[in-house]
Structure 1
Amino acid sequence: MGKLGKLNNLLGVVGVLGLGILLGIFLTGRWPATQVQAVATDRAENYAIATGWVDEGVEAVYFLDFLTGTLRAAVPSNQTRDFRARFEANVLADLQKVIDIQNANLAAANAQRARSGLPPLPPLQVPQNPRFLMVTGNLDIRRGAAARTRPSAALVYVAEVNTGIVLAYVVPWNQSAHAANQPQSGPLELWAGDRFGTAVLRTQ
């Protein structure tokens, strides 16, 4: 048998061994496990609800009231049958803060447009009938080891459709209080806010 034939036989043996190892892993269920973290979101006429992780194995439910702009987050206890952690923010108030920043930038842009002979762009306003979307997502935020409260592992994103502005919130999470089943409460922290839509829709 020539060298080429021996090489082909060797490759065949290696292939059979590799296939056997993969088959054994499949049959014994020893494939490395990948943790799946599922989140959910849904909405009705004037409300939206979503879930997101605040810590490993700890999930929060987020509830947004479109009419009042109130965003609430609650974390159930892992020891008693109640929600021991509750947090809240006013989306409309935070939306106004971002609009004020956007309008300041817009004023500077309009000054440049005026020098170029272009018409000014209209300022943004909080709509009388805001329309919201809400989803959650994960973000590896740097957390200080000595801090009692840390940003949650998930952000909740609230988008106002008319203005194109997206607000991102985190839960100021105290893992020690949760482990001791102590109540937590406070404001949701506005982590970021910016405008992504380009259309300018006036208040109706």
Structure 2
Amino acid sequence: MLQRVCNHTALLVVGVAIGAALTAGWHGVTATPQAHAVATHGSDNFAIATGLVDDDIEALYFLDYLTGDLRAAIVNRRNGQFTGYFRYNVMQDFEAVGDPARFLMVTGMANLPRGSGPTQIAKALIYVAEASSGQVAAYVLPFNSTLNSSGALQSGTFIRVARGSFRDAFVRDE
């Protein structure tokens, strides 16, 4: 009888040990990857979007349809306040735009060379399209992570990295 209890106890201990090892291994294999989501919303006169600047920080992008001003604000890691401000007028990049301009804006990820040093381009691209003309431009934000880490103010302008038109790319039936 004693041998029978010892055998059951030994099997139970071995089973618990194997279960714990499998659980620990399975948890490591099935760890869920981080998801990064961006948001975009627009109204009659402006659009607003978010996009990654660095691994752990986003910018809030704002496009005023009436003036063409594209702006960004970045929250500081240290104090939780807006300390990064950037501005650029996109009207100079769009030819023969109707009055009023009909802009669309979204953000996307880009694995562009970011450069070295404290100032690097952000990880997100900002795409601005003008619906009447079919023109589109892509912009990046030069971001100084050292200034952000120290809590210092930073400001600047966007950099246009691409420009084109989608209007002539459509095939029309004759």
CA distance in 1, matches of 2:109, 2:165: 20
Aligned to 2:133: 163
Structure 1 residues 30 and 60, CA gap change in structure 2 (3 angstroms): same
Displacement after TM superposition at 1:82 (Å): 1.9
Any idea what the Cα deviations from partners look like across 1:134-172, whole Å, max 9, x if unmatched? 100000111222x33111100010100011111111110
Secondary structure at the aligned position of 2:101 is classed as coil
Give the paired residue count.
150
Aligned to 1:35: 34
Aligned to 2:107: 136
CA distance in 1, matches of 2:69, 2:126: 13
Identity %: 43
Considering fraction of residues, name the structure with more strand: 2
Displacement after TM superposition at 1:24 (Å): 3.8
Q: Which runs of 5+ in 2 are unaligned?
A: 1-18, 170-174
Q: Is the CA contact 1:133–1:161 (under 8 Å) kept in the aligned structure 2?
A: yes
Aligned to 1:61: 60
Q: Give the aligned CA root-mean-square deviation in angstroms.
A: 2.2
1:179 paired to 2:149? yes
Q: Is the CA contact 1:25–1:31 (under 8 Å) kept in the aligned structure 2?
A: no
Displacement after TM superposition at 1:198 (Å): 2.3
Q: Given the two structures, how large is their TM-score scaled by the length of structure 2?
A: 0.78
Any idea what the Cα deviations from partners look like across 1:147-203, whole Å, max 9, x if unmatched? 33111100010100011111111110111111111111011111111111129xxxx
Any idea what the Cα deviations from partners look like across 1:88-135, whole Å, max 9, x if unmatched? 11011122xxx3xxxxxxxxxxxxxxxxxxxxxxxxx12121101110
Q: Given the two structures, how large is their TM-score scaled by the length of structure 1?
A: 0.67
Displacement after TM superposition at 1:25 (Å): 6.6
Q: Is the CA contact 2:119–2:143 (under 8 Å) kept in the aligned structure 1?
A: yes
Q: Is the CA contact 2:42–2:48 (under 8 Å) kept in the aligned structure 1?
A: yes
Aligned to 1:102: none
Secondary structure at the aligned position of 1:61 is classed as strand
1:5-154 counterparts in 2 under 5 A? 24=23, 28=27, 31-95=30-94, 99=95, 125-145=96-116, 147-154=117-124
Q: Which runs of 5+ in 1 are unaligned?
A: 1-19, 100-124, 200-204
Aligned to 1:188: 158
Q: Is the CA contact 2:78–2:150 (under 8 Å) kept in the aligned structure 1?
A: no
CA distance in 2, matches of 1:183, 1:31: 41
Secondary structure at the aligned position of 1:92 is classed as helix
Any idea what the Cα deviations from partners look like across 1:3-25, whole Å, max 9, x if unmatched? xxxxxxxxxxxxxxxxx9xx847
